Amino acid sequence: MTGTGKTVTRVDLCEAVYQKVGLSRTESSAFVELVLKEITDCLEKGETVKLSSFGSFMVRKKGQRIGRNPKTGTEVPISPRRVMVFKPSAILKQRINGNGSGSDGANGADD
């Protein structure tokens, strides 16, 4: 899984677990699915999922507002809803931008 612009899928994650951890392909797949299900379940309950050195997944509530139909210009009410947000950690930001290995977190970056 290198920086080639490729989209990484569940199958790719399962294969990476299989290659690096040594579980069977079935166990690797079950493990990945279990982790994703746990994250999903927490988010459905409105909980924040914080993964150290990676980032946080959270659900935010957006209130009703007035939007505009771009074709007609007519005002249209937009219903209140919940949206999922991902906030990367400072360490992940550093690694993505190539500013150090991100292994110690002591590079003085703000978050």
Q: Which fold has domain 46-111?
A: HU Protein; Chain A (4.10.520)
- Quick check: 1 pLDDT over 60? no
pTM (2 decimals)?
Answer: 0.71
Condensed to tens digits (0 to 9), the pLDDT of residues 80-94 reads 999 999 999 999 999
For the chain, give every domain's residue range: 7-44, 46-111
Mind giving me the DSSP string for 53-83? TTEEEEEEEE--EEEE-TTT--EEEE--EEE
Q: Which of 11-15, 79-83, 107-111 has the lowest mean pLDDT?
A: 107-111
In this structure, how many other beta carbons lie within 10 angstroms of the beta carbon of residue 72? 8
3-state secondary structure of 70: coil
